[in-house]
Amino acid sequence: MSGVSNVDGVVGGAVIQASGLVKRYGELEAVKGIDLEVRAGEIFGFLGPNGAGKSTTISILCTLLSPTAGTARVAGIDVAFDPAGVRQRIGLVFQDPSLDDQLTGRENLEFHAFIYAVPAAVRRQRIDEMLALVQLADRASSQVKTYSGGMKRRLEIARGMLHQPQVLFLDEPTLGLDPQTRQSIWAHLNELRRSKGITIFMTTHYMDEAEYCDRIAIIDQGKIVALGTPDELKAMVGGDVVTITSSRPEDAAREIEEILGVTPARDNGTLRMEVPDGKAFVPRLVRELIAPVDTVSMHRPSLDDVFLKLTGRAIRDEEASTRDQNRTMANRFMGRRR
């Protein structure tokens, strides 16, 4: 038996392979040549700000959009050649809710089982198993409109898993959920990976969530700018991140550069620098600087710092959170709760 096998739907351990993916909308190039490989059984995170091309890429991989150029194979099947074959082998959890909230949780799963050709003999057992896995068994016969946002998300995850896909795609699975609920969604995803050995591909713009992933691709302006484990990525920053504020930032910046030999990045009154040994650097900084230093802080590099280093910008969490709020308000207005 050959290691390269179509029956397995997996070629050499890679469940997703994309090369040279491009998506153009007229003048706008949303995705500008993406190559990536996702291995069987890993949690792969796609991290980037809104509008970076995350959703477009995930849509191409899920066969919801066709690429302008490039190829992608998911579960061993070419997305352009056999979209239905790919869809049968993947589970999808969309950014926006896609449940029928007049139906019960169980009815939503039954509907899914029918359109994904889950054999009648195992339908009921599989539904029960999935409901138990996301801890919704006791609420299975309540209408979905009575569910909380986190419960709906869990039900969607259960639904995505019902036809035993090889890859579960999640587009911003925790968007608009409160921190506690986000934690619990993650606990369920980890449990799924552990008990089912499923590959998970997800997009997020929450830096703290990306830490849970085995590997992360950072995407900015339609291109992957870095790919690796969270630790590998953080090692790119090197040492510690020191941030100071000063009422005379220009002078402070010049002095730091001349005296300490470090070029700080400026953001209004804030100066930010990466140094090998922060503990030794901070006392020197305070001693040597003539310009006033108002506050000093130091931290181990986070993925935020990685992103900042690679793109020169912070992921605008502010913008993201207003978007969340708008979404929540819009949902409330439409009579949906998440």
Partner 1 sequence: MSVNAVTAPNATAPAQHAPADTRMATLRAIYIIWYRDLLRYWRDRWRLVASLAQPLLFLVVFGSGLSSALGRGTLFGTSGGISYIQFMYPGIIGMAILFTAIFGAMSIVWDREFGFLKEVLVAPIDRSAVAIGKALGSTTQAMIQGLILLVLAPFVGVKLSVLTVLTMIPLAAVLAFGLSSFGVALASSMKSLQGFQVVMNFLMMPMFFLSGALFPLTGLPGWMTVLTRLDPASYGIDPLRRVVLSNSGLPGSVVDRLGLTINGQVLPIPLEAGIVFAFGAVMLGIAVVMFQRRD
Strand-pairing partners, residue 74, are: 16, 77
Residue from the set 116, 251, 304, 337 that interacts with partner 1 by CB under 8 A: 116
Query: In the sheet that 215-220 helps form, which strands lie side by side, from edge to edge?
Result: 90-93, 167-171, 199-204, 43-47, 215-220, 223-228
Question: What amino acid occupies position 155?
Answer: L
Distance of CA 175 to the CA centre of its chain: 10
Residue 298: its H or E element: strand 295-299
Residue 89 as a binder of partner 1 (CB under 8 A): the answer is yes
Structure tokens at 90: 């993947």
Give SS3 for 183: helix
Stretch that binds partner 1, among 5-13, 20-28, 44-52, 237-245 (CB under 8 A): 5-13
Q: Smallest distance, Å, CB 12 to partner 1?
A: 8
Distance of CA 30 to the CA centre of its chain: 18
Residue from the set 27, 117, 276, 277 that interacts with partner 1 by CB under 8 A: 117
Round to whole Å and give the CA distance between 221 and 233: 19
Q: Smallest distance, Å, CB 89 to partner 1?
A: 6
Residue 44 as a binder of partner 1 (CB under 8 A): the answer is no
Stretch that binds partner 1, among 102-110, 231-239, 244-252, 286-294 (CB under 8 A): 102-110
Round to whole Å and give the CA distance between 59 and 335: 27
Could you give the string, one character per residue 165-204, with x where binding to partner 1 holds by CB under 8 A and - elsewhere? xx-----------------------------xxx------
Round to whole Å and give the CA distance between 19 and 284: 48
Stretch that binds partner 1, among 2-10, 121-129, 245-253, 256-264 (CB under 8 A): 2-10
Query: Which is closer to partner 1, CB of 5 or CB of 325?
Result: 5
Footprint on this chain of partner 1 (rule: CB under 8 A): 1-3, 5, 7-10, 12-13, 15, 40, 62-64, 66, 75, 84-85, 87-89, 92, 94, 96-103, 107, 110-112, 114-117, 143, 159, 164-166, 196-198, 334, 336
